[in-house]
A and B are shown apart, each in its own frame.
Chain A
Amino acid sequence: MKNWQKLKQKPDLWQQFFVREQVLDEIRSFFKNQEFHEVETPILTASPGTEPYLDLFATDLMIQTPSGNKKKQLYLLTSPELAMKKLIVAGLPKVFQLCKSFRNHEGLSTLHNPEFTILEWYRAESDYTEIMTDCENLIQSLVKNIHQRDSLVYQGKTYQLTSPWPRLAVKEAFLKYAGINEQSLLDRELLVKVALKKGYQQAEESSWEELYHQIFLNEIEPILATFDQPVFLYDYPLALAALSKKKAGDECFAERFELYIGGIELANAFSELTDPKEQRQRAMADMQQRGQLAKDTFPIDEDYIKALELGLPPTGGIALGVDRLVLLLADVKSIQEILFFPIEEVI
């Protein structure tokens, strides 16, 4: 049965769906009270983010001209971050956006819909630690205003929200929960040896990134699910920096964090990379890797590099999955229970 039919049959269900509306309202007032500007940037773009493993929805823009039709390859966004950071360069120091983003080929799961609602916010003259504080304040205020509580109750478990939330460095997590020291973590050959010893039989055929994620998914993510507070996993190995800048004083790591609540990855944040040269190098390397992985390749966003050349101030920024946030506040197991029309209904 489709969700709209269930709603017609069981009107009590509306309450669970109305949580989204409350969450969106509360997010807007949270940021507006702090003088953030809400912006809208395009969903259709010629140069989406370059993350090597993301699959895109591609489409054609058709333009009629006197000499016939012109066609341009466009994509649906995977995240609005580049456009938002251009607005920081243009002079808006605090911006947020609530919009749809799109990721193809992710597989169907209780935490994924290919079209999803994303919340991004950026603060000039700040870094990822200030964004951590924003996360604490935002979620505390959402839970307080929607449920009149200081703690989040999700699937029978209570998560304390009092600040500060635990902060766990990636290297600390690997040492503590997987027994892997920093030297082994960062070196593929050493990591292969450790992985073989642990019983990952096909470690020798694995790239560093595959080993990292496989060990993370098997040995660390399940531990994050046992915390009774939200937890920030921070300072990622440089190979996973994406658009975060190198850590001051330790260039093997990057100033990036992910926020987990109840084992669910809710958000991904950076101290934004501001160096145009390094930005270009990373984008080119990503594009080369995309080619090797047989994924769409496209021109990198030169306009964004120009903006960095003009000067992006030190900035902290984040992307947060709103559907997952609604799932936590509605206390349901799958996002299909809080989307009116989940993708499963059309396939």
Chain B
Amino acid sequence: MATVKAGNIKRGSYIRFRGKPMLVSKTEFSFPGKGSAFMKVVLKNITSGSTQSFTYKSNESIEELDISSIEMQFLYVDGSEIVFMNPRNYEQLSVAIDLLDGKENMLTAETKVYIKIFEDKPVGVNLPPKVKLKVTDAPEATAGNRSKAAKRNVTLETGLVVQAPLFIKTGDVLVVDTASGEYVSRGN
């Protein structure tokens, strides 16, 4: 059983908390000065989806979950599920759309993701840090808008809407940050 000291827990890691498998969605180290050091974490139960916070002593040993990770390719959305394919053996895997945390509209046929598996079930989907998406609708910039950081909404091939600079045109390919969902640069 792998363990980690509470003070070293990282956001995005998976731990067991009071018997339940949890994803660590936030960490905050605190050292109140009147006592020893503590680590406050926000945990998301990966089977029920419920969240709670807990404060560990920073020197507590925490059980890390045995999570495996498979590289998969996006195929299509099927109702409330997303279907991926393993490019090595062509096996398909359906994942509940909720696991994408609203990032399903950053996926294209080219996108490779890592699917986290715990006890034979998918529990998380890690997107690459950046994806390239084509602009399908970029309205003409309003004349006279010359302010320095002028941006407007453009629609991308997946339906995702991002704020992009005025020089971006329909047909351009944009680099989008998958963590923030924001425009990074032109990626033609």
With both chains docked as a complex, state the minimum distance between the C-beta of B180 and any C-beta of chain A, in angstroms: 17
B167 in contact (CB, < 8 A): no
A-B contact count (CB 8 A): 53
Chain A residue at smallest Cβ distance from B37: A107
User: Given the known A-B contacts A109-B28, A109-B29, A199-B18, are A53 and B36 also in contact in the complex, defined by CB atoms under 8 Å?
Assistant: yes
Which residues from chain B contact A242 at a C-beta distance below 8 Å?
A: 34
With both chains docked as a complex, state the minimum distance between the C-beta of A28 and any C-beta of chain B, in angstroms.
27
Contacting pair B34 A218 (CB below 8 A): no
One of B29, B33, B40, B60 near A217 (C-beta < 8 A): B40
Query: Contact: A51 with B57, CB < 8 Å?
Result: no
A213–B35 touching, CB < 8 Å: yes
Closest B residue to A202 by beta carbon equals B60
B76 on interface, CB distance cutoff 8 Å:
no
Chain A residues whose CB sits within 8 angstroms of the CB of B57 once the complex forms: 202, 206, 210, 214
- Asked if A106 lies at the interface with its beta carbon under 8 angstroms from chain B, I say yes
Q: A103 at the A/B interface (Cβ < 8 Å)? A: yes
Residue among A51, A105, A107 with max Cβ neighbours from chain B (10 Å): A107
- Mask of A211-228 contacts with B, CB within 8 angstroms, 1/0: 011100110001000000
Residue B30 CB within 8 A of the other chain: yes
B27-51 contacts to A, CB under 8 A, are: 28-38, 40
On chain B, the number of residues with a Cβ less than 8 Å from chain A's Cβ atoms is 20
- Give bound CA distance, A108 to B30, whole Å: 8
A213 contact from B38, B53, B54, Cβ within 8 A = B38
Whose C-beta in chain A lies nearest to the C-beta of B28? A109
Residues of the B chain whose Cβ atoms lie less than 8 Å from the Cβ of A201: 18, 60
The answer to whether B34 touches A214, judged by C-beta atoms less than 8 angstroms apart, is no
* B34 touching A217, Cβ below 8 Å: no
List residues of B (41-80) whose CB comes within 8 Å of A's CBs. Answer: 53-57, 60-61
Find chain A residues with CB under 8 A from B60 CB. Answer: 201-202
**Cβ–Cβ < 8 Å partners of B28 in chain A:** 109
Measured between beta carbons, the chain B residues less than 8 angstroms from A210 are: 35-36, 57
Q: Is the CB of B33 within 8 A of A209?
A: no
Q: Give the distance in Å from the alpha carbon of A103 to the alpha carbon of B34 in the complex.
A: 12
Contacts of A51 in B (CB 8 A): 33-34
Interchain nearest-CB distance for A177 vs B (Å): 15
Q: Which of A258-282 contact B (CB under 8 A)?
A: none
Chief secondary structure at chain A's binding surface: loop
CB distance from A122 to the nearest CB of B (A): 20
Asked if B31 and A107 make an inter-chain contact with CB atoms under 8 angstroms apart, the answer reads yes
Q: Which of B30, B34, B53 contacts A53 (CB 8 A)?
A: B34
A202, B34: Cβ atoms under 8 Å? no
Residues of B within 8 A of A109 (CB): 28-30
Among A105, A212, A213: residue with most chain B CB under 10 A: A213
Indicate which residue in A53, A199, A202, A240 contacts B33 across the interface (CB closer than 8 Å).
A53
Cβ distance A67 to chain B, nearest Cβ, rounded Å: 41
B186 to chain A, nearest CB (A): 23
A112 to B33, CA, bound (A): 11
Given A202-B57, A206-B57, A217-B38; A107-B30 close (CB under 8 Å):
yes
Bound-complex Cα distance A213 to B32 (A): 9
B33 in contact with A54 (CB, 8 Å) = yes
Asked if A214 contacts B55 (CB within 8 A), the reply is yes
Point out the residues of chain A lying under 8 angstroms from B53, CB to CB: 222
Least Cβ–Cβ distance between B9 and chain A, in angstroms: 14
| Most B C-beta atoms less than 10 A away, residue of A108, A201, A209 | A201
A199's nearest neighbour on chain B, judged by CB, is: B18
Q: How far is the CA of A108 from the CA of B29 in the complex (A)?
A: 8
Which residues from chain B contact A206 at a C-beta distance below 8 Å? 57
Q: Is the CB of A218 within 8 A of B37?
A: no
What is the distance, in angstroms, from B44's C-beta to the closest C-beta of chain A?
17
A-B contact pairs, 11 of them (CB 8 A): A51-B33, A109-B29, A109-B30, A199-B18, A202-B60, A207-B36, A209-B36, A214-B38, A214-B57, A217-B32, A217-B55
5 closest cross-chain pairs (CB), A and B: A217-B55, A213-B35, A107-B29, A106-B31, A107-B31
